[in-house]
Structure 1
Amino acid sequence: MKISFYGKSGIGKTTIVSNLAVGLAKRGFKVLQIGVDPKRDSHLSIVKKFIPTVVEVIEAKSQKNEDFSIEDFIYEGYQGVHCIEAGAPPAGIGCGGFVTGETIKILKQFDRLDYYDYYLYDVPGDLICGGYTAPLQYSDLSYVIAGDDFNSIYSVNRLLEGIKEKSKGYDIKIAGVIVNNHNQKERISKYCEELNLPIISEIDEVHALKTETLKTTIYEANESLNVFEKEVQQFEKIVDAIIAQSHETATLNNPDPLSFEDLIKSYRKLTFVEA
């Protein structure tokens, strides 16, 4: 099962994806987490060190005329989760879709394209160009992490636009929204209700802060500190939902996104401003 996770910058997407990767691995699944972000840090809380990106490895080996192995690209971390970092093209040139394509080529070359039970793509959620919709081409399901602010809701709507376009040639479904910060959810809940888009789970925003401080996953921190059992259980509920939806893809429907004008009108109404 190949799943892409999107979300606006700073929403806690990488934190959530890393914890879900560990949660799935704890259930006995083989998991590969694929970082598709210029920050190239998707793997950090799992592997505990920066790993080279796919593009960096290819360039370095090519310059020395050396062959490369799968171990040059994939690193194992906590709970046996494997990580690979696609990286990004140089700033100002190139396309994010290129690095995704090169990553897929490497996985295919070393017979890793169908090796894992779960492939988790950690992708920027702004979809500023077609390149960052490329993971949708290789995904069975997609989730978006969102808060209650306009930029979060815009990212959800933008992802729906990307899925609508990609679904013309690929069988990709949006599974739903994971709300980060369940204490504030009125606007994102109303938006999802209007589009008949399911909210999969709601988690405390404090997760991102705790993990940022600890530089690890909530699962690993709880093993040593034994103070995050509530947080672990919240992630376990999302893991349950992912496993269940993995077997129900045929029943999922992709709602139509709102036009930008309608999105603005809807948001203004939800913030008690006369549209």
Structure 2
Amino acid sequence: MTKKKIAIYGKGGIGKSTTVSNIAASYDNSTFVIGCDPKSDTTRTLVGKRIPTILDTMRNNKNPVLDDVLYEGFNNTLCVESGGPEPGVGCAGRGVIVAMKLLNQLGAFDSNPELVIYDVLGDVVCGGFSVPLREEYADEVYIVTSGEYMSLYAANNIAKGIRKLNGKLGGIICNCRNVENEVEIVSEFAKLLSTEVIGIIPRSPLVQSSEFQAKTVVEVYPDSDQSNEYRKLIKSIMDNDNLVAPTPLESEEFEKFFYSYVDN
């Protein structure tokens, strides 16, 4: 039986896919990773290459089978990418809707993996990208952010979306960018959302080095401190039962919080 079905949200470029792939690589039980970002790069470092997306496969094959879209990655992870439309054409969120319908039809979840992870583009406002929550594929959400203004602003908007969809927030993941007072400001932000920082991932050159090889840090540098941080994070997530309805800030409250804290 599946123990956890989680969705990872965050501002574009904040490190969601890196976080997802490395925590998946760190988990030693059956794990299913579903990339819901039209960039389709979530599973690249798990599989070692870009895999065909569900939308691309369906364009060429109207009756795909599960083996056409499901790939095995590092540490026996199962990997899927939803894909998206041609650039500038159509709704990217639509790809998530189509992908989830097909995965259900093909029995992709019949094996009951212990952990299912959805890597979702940060804009939860869009109907397509809210699918993991709206359709109850995911039971809990984790938001990746740094201490930067735009990252926190996006995280606050995501929290608004989670609350509107009656979702449950499991915590904040601080993916450090080495800005001043970063851990402190993210920790205070988490408190204002009625949650906590569940993991702190330091900035490390090992991330870029491993991704250059199309691999996770956990695979290339298994004994590194960075890999240990990803292992600690997935353990904290799997042990976590403190799920809350977030209390996002109104725009003026957020501005006051950020700038007063930075000034201090």
Q: 1:117 aligns with which of 107, 114, 117?
A: 114
Structure whose alpha-carbon radius of gyration is higher: 1
1:50 alignment partner AA: R
Residue aligned with 2:49, SS: coil
Residues 155-212 of structure 1: CA deviation (Å, up to 9, x unaligned): 2111111111111xxxx31100111128532322221222322100111111533433
| Offset of residue 100 of structure 1 | 1.5
Q: Give 1:145's aligned residue.
A: 144
Structure 1 contact 89–95 (Cα < 8 Å) conserved: yes
Counterpart-to-counterpart distance in 1, 2:108 and 2:121 = 24
Q: Give 2:227's aligned residue.
A: 232
Residues 80-120 of structure 1: CA deviation (Å, up to 9, x unaligned): 11110001123334333321122222221122235322111
Q: Give 1:130's aligned residue.
A: 127
| Offset of residue 60 of structure 1 | 0.3
Structure 1 contact 149–187 (Cα < 8 Å) conserved: no
Counterpart-to-counterpart distance in 2, 1:261 and 1:91 = 35
Q: 1:10 aligns with which of 13, 21, 34?
A: 13
Q: Give 2:32's aligned residue.
A: 32
Residue aligned with 2:234, SS: helix
1:254 alignment partner AA: A
Q: 1:102 aligns with which of 94, 98, 102?
A: 98
Structure 1 residues 114 and 261: alpha-carbon distance in aligned structure 2, compared to 1, 3 A threshold: farther
Counterpart-to-counterpart distance in 2, 1:10 and 1:106 = 28
Counterpart-to-counterpart distance in 2, 1:266 and 1:144 = 19
Larger relative helix fraction: 1
Counterpart-to-counterpart distance in 1, 2:128 and 2:98 = 12
Residues 4-30 of structure 1: CA deviation (Å, up to 9, x unaligned): 101212222111100111111x2xx21
The number of residue pairs the alignment matches comes to: 254
Counterpart-to-counterpart distance in 1, 2:211 and 2:18 = 8
Q: Give 1:48's aligned residue.
A: 48
Residue aligned with 2:61, SS: helix
Residue aligned with 1:145, SS: strand
User: Does residue 174 of structure 1 match 2:172?
Assistant: no
Structure 1 contact 32–83 (Cα < 8 Å) conserved: yes
TM-score (norm 1): 0.86
Q: 1:254 aligns with which of 221, 245, 258?
A: 245
Structure 1 residues 55 and 90: alpha-carbon distance in aligned structure 2, compared to 1, 3 A threshold: same
List runs of 5+ in structure 2 lacking aligned partners: none
Q: Give 1:70's aligned residue.
A: 66
Structure 1 contact 182–203 (Cα < 8 Å) conserved: no
| Offset of residue 258 of structure 1 | 0.7
2:228 alignment partner AA: Q
Percent identity over paired residues: 31
Q: What does residue range 209-220 of structure 1 map to in structure 2 within 5 Å?
A: 209-220=208-219
Q: Give 2:59's aligned residue.
A: 59
List runs of 5+ in structure 1 lacking aligned partners: none
Residues 227-271 of structure 1: CA deviation (Å, up to 9, x unaligned): x431121111111112112xx2xx521122111121112111112
Structure 1 residues 135 and 94: alpha-carbon distance in aligned structure 2, compared to 1, 3 A threshold: farther
Cα RMSD for the two superposed structures: 1.9
Q: Give 1:82's aligned residue.
A: 78
Structure 2 contact 140–243 (Cα < 8 Å) conserved: no
Residue aligned with 1:2, SS: strand
1:219 alignment partner AA: V
Structure 1 contact 53–86 (Cα < 8 Å) conserved: yes
